[in-house]
Amino acid sequence: MALMMKRSAVAARPAVSRKAVVTCVARQSWLPGSEIPKHLDSPAALAMAGNFGFDPLGLGKDPESLRWYQQAELVHARTAMTAVAGIIIPGLLTKAGALNVPEWYDAGKVAIESSFAPFGALFAVQLFLTGFVETKRWQDFKKPGSQAEKGSFLGFETAFAGTGDNGYPGGIFDPMGLSKDASKLADWKLKEIKNGRLAMVAFLGFAAQKFATGKGPIDNLAAHLADPWHVNYATNGQSIPFL
């Protein structure tokens, strides 16, 4: 009798349900709620810094094309960051009276006219040096790490070996050693591409300002701050022609 009561008590116990709780971190998207293209959701694509699923034209459907576009964006981002700094800093110093240099859109002409060497000679030297660097970059893109192989870089293979990650040279190009900490390198890559994209948009804005006002960004900013209601994009006579 006692055994039957014990069995009944066991049978009467409520079943214990086991639930697995899975925590899923939502992936960042350039447009919240939009669907990420499949070719940007692959393991290789997810490893790319700044991949927020933006490819409305489907340019990166081919894996090799996606790799090339990533490298192209990275180079243009770095160029734009250098250009924007080279426009803003001299402009600020000239405005402050510490320098007296021309605006960025006149700088090339002034440099040619006052150069110690003929333009043709400078262009030839730049073409040679840039061509050499771009050729080495192309070779490293086709075969990552190949430029660190012995005999591939005029004896400077060790200095130019870099991180082994295409597009991130490291070595002498990383004097602060930021690429040595693998746990932080991904964060630095993301910061770089974000700032690079911002710089590309900024330079486009500088060019648009030059077309609309004939002035540089610092002069435009100073004029806007002095009279924001009457000096802005809507009153320059170009941005909104019918006003």
Per-residue pLDDT in tens (0 to 9) along the chain, 243 residues: 444 444 554 445 554 444 444 444 567 888 888 899 999 999 999 999 999 999 999 999 999 999 999 999 999 999 999 999 999 999 999 999 999 999 999 999 999 999 999 999 999 999 999 999 899 888 888 888 777 777 777 777 777 666 778 888 777 788 888 888 877 888 999 999 999 999 999 999 999 999 999 999 999 999 999 999 999 988 888 888 776
Task: Could you list the residues known to form a binding site, using ranges.
Answer: 73, 76, 78, 191-192, 195, 197, 209, 224
Domain membership flag for residue 158: yes
Task: Could you list the residues known to form a binding site for chlorophyll a, using ranges.
Answer: 73, 76, 191-192, 195, 197, 209, 224
- Please state the domain count of the chain: 1
Domain membership flag for residue 24: no
Domain membership flag for residue 1: no
**Alpha carbon distance 122, 117 (integer Å):** 7
190-193 contacts at long range (C-beta below 8 A, 24 or more positions apart): 190/49, 190/50, 192/49, 192/74, 192/77, 192/78, 193/49, 193/50, 193/73, 193/74, 193/77
pTM of the predicted protein model = 0.81
Domain membership flag for residue 212: yes
Domain membership flag for residue 14: no
Domain membership flag for residue 54: yes
Task: Could you list the residues known to form a binding site for chlorophyll b, using ranges.
Answer: 78
The domain that contains 178 carries what CATH number? Answer: 1.10.3460.10
Range of the domain at 146: 37-226
DSSP the chain: -HHHHHHHHHHHSPPPP-------PPPP-SSTTPPPPGGGSSHHHHTSTT--S--TT-TT-SHHHHHHHHHHHHHHHHHHHHHHHHHHHHHHHHHTTS-----HHHHHHHHHHT-SS-HHHHHHHHHHHHHHHHHHHHHHHHSTTGGGSTTSSTT-TTTT-TTSBTTB--GGG-TT-GGG-HHHHHHHHHHHHHHHHHHHHHHHHHHHHHHHHSS-HHHHHHHHHHSTTTSSTTTSSSSSTT-
Q: What does the chain come to in residues?
A: 243
Domain membership flag for residue 88: yes
Domain membership flag for residue 43: yes
